[in-house]
Structure 1
Amino acid sequence: MLTDTGVKTAKPKDKAYRLADSEGLFIHVMPTGKKFWRMRYRSGGKEQTLTFGPYPSVSLREARGMRDNAKDMIRQGVDPAQAGKLAPVLSAAREEDSFESVAREWYEQRKDLWRPRHAHDVIHSLERDVFPLIGTLPPGQMTARVVLHVLKQIEDRGAVETAHRVRQRMSDVFVHAIATGRADNDPASVVKAALRPVQRGRQPAITDLEQAREMIGRVEGSAAHPVTLLAFRLLYLTAVRPGEVRGALWEEFYELDGSDPVWVIPKERMKMGRDHIVPLTPHVVAVVNALRPFTERWPHLFPNTRRPKTVMCENALGYLLNRAGYHGRHVPHGFRSTFSSTMNERYPQDHAVIELMLAHVSRDKVAGAYNRALHLPRRRELAQLWNDLILEGQVPVEELVSGKRKPVN
């Protein structure tokens, strides 16, 4: 199968030649250097060739999506070339009826009804996982097989719950397309059963302190980018949610050179819709400062290594744990349970403050009012006690970044 690099670096020769991908798809490299996506198939007993468009205007992922759509037409007894159904597909990027255009129209009508954080998650998931594959296709031309192909790409990287969320968002887009006369059915509504089920219940977590230290030692001793390892350390030192670490902005950190440094996570990024103040220990400040040579030029502490204007991949920390042998035993979110179990066992009198450190909001109005008192001095003390406990036996932060990896650029 082809790769983006292989297609990009293919050089022209004296005669045109083909580089095969899979299932009939190939890139046709012309002597002039121009490259065209084409597909070979049989119709009526004869071999046919279909042209999808030029590279790089049509990417490898888009060409594969077009191939899958064409093959689905063939299975339904429709010759895509003769029916002329692929022409709108290829030009849809310049029209108002592409899936991406319809999805953005749907999003604009609804985003004001959602919290900013949720609105960002919705459009970001479509931009990351859907538009690159099928954004140029008209929703009225898409089939369940095409939709399932998109969702399987998400599922195959281990993000099963994300695949289900994206399926629901795609379904909402199709319903909008039906209501506005740009589709006749919702293919996303019928593929749910074909996805792996989401395993509900408590997320796996190691709550024994000694075992947690051993796990951290194995993870931090693995071959990984220093930025990913620093994200991992910030996660378990602060016990905030993984998404709050991934989305951390430099502008959210205050007084790092002072005596009372804090990280103020705005309500737009918090699950409960309230600002969350995280008192920072010297250990955490050291992690933040260690990040500066790598990512200070970007808004986020943890940018994506390939697309640094976006945040780190949502599964990066999970992959780190999995590679160290903790798949199914501990997930990034599990450090909140590790912290809660350890600290509540040692300091039961501070249960309410510990809950506040986890940004848990009590359903009891009186308790909620109590939480508004913040208790920052005690939270800072407990944070230091937790850091001292969990870091026992771990390498210093300087060693964590001493590899030969280059900064994010």
Structure 2
Amino acid sequence: MTNPPEAKRPHLSCTTDDLPDPVESASASSINLVFTCDTPPTSDNIEFALHTIGDTKNTNTKHDILQALQDLNRWARNNNHLFFNEFLELAGISRVLKFLMIPSNMSDMKYVFSACTIIINCTRGPNSDLDIDIAQVMGRKFIERGGIHTMLLANEEYSGGNDRNELSAVHSIWAVLNNVINYNAELDYIDKDKQHNLFDDAIATLRLVNDTDDKIRVHGMIQIPHKIKSLLLLVLMRLLVGSNSKLVADDLEGRDVFQIFINTMKDSNRQWEFEEEIWKITSYFFFSCFRRQLFPTKNNNDLKLAISFYVEYIEKAPNEAFKSKAFDFLLEVSDVIGREEITKMPGLMITLGTILDRSSSNNIEAATEDMTKTLVKYLL
């Protein structure tokens, strides 16, 4: 298979900057819990926090546990190198995962969210201010200690719906998984069966989230379903078209992957709904799948689905579509389904003609216009 050329792809690493505070989220109940936020990240304090969440004798209150989770998250979020070194030395990743594997903790979405934010801040990618070596070591420890299995078990607690605590937990779960597979090298440590499980669960979760209210916000800060969709699309893109991916075209058989991506970009009335981040990820995904020969060869139905998306993308955001490989896809796919056939796709030639119509005030960039001319000339 031919790997796609290097391109400037969407941001693939997650931080907790756009998440509500874990303890604020966890304490939003009828009881107004008060937490301290000035405990320093000494070795003793880190060990105490890890011991608190690891207590299996139930001697600590929920407040104690949430305070420990808050401290661990705050120290990780502050990019404190002393904390990261001690956290590794004290087997922090393993102990957080063990905390989540306790059934009563895994079924508590506030605990899941709080614990995952710690791992998110320990595995931030190359676009963050976290040392890359530390993030990679943390990610590898996560994989070695069964972190993927733990996350997927926690994800199974969500069966659909608009509950804010559940959606926040699901978001944090997939933010962790996205961070861990953000580095191509980490996929080498994930065997094909686990990659397959990740793929299947991401598809299943995307189906569920597509049916939620996309405008749900947590503490007025973040549209959770939209963010979950973006993360799931990023995970699927990395699993299928990452250079170290172990999945092949046969693994997509019967899973309606391309239709599910299309559904993600439509509203509850099945009308196109433009969201720049999601559309950009989808554009790169379709282009890369085509280059890796992941589209079915039995017929061109999925290719035509992708073309219908690109027509909408070019119409709504021509310059962004150009930068996200939309025109490249149309050029290359025309050799597969035929130039005459592609010109019959609803709206395509009208949309391209509008870009070239100088009387229209559409703020077309020169590079976009040049590529449009190239495409039209090639098709005709």
Q: Do they superpose with TM above 0.5?
A: no
Q: TM-score, normalised by structure 2?
A: 0.28
Task: Select the structure of larger CA radius of gyration.
Answer: 1
Q: TM-score, normalised by structure 1?
A: 0.27
More strand, by proportion: 1
More helix, by proportion: 2
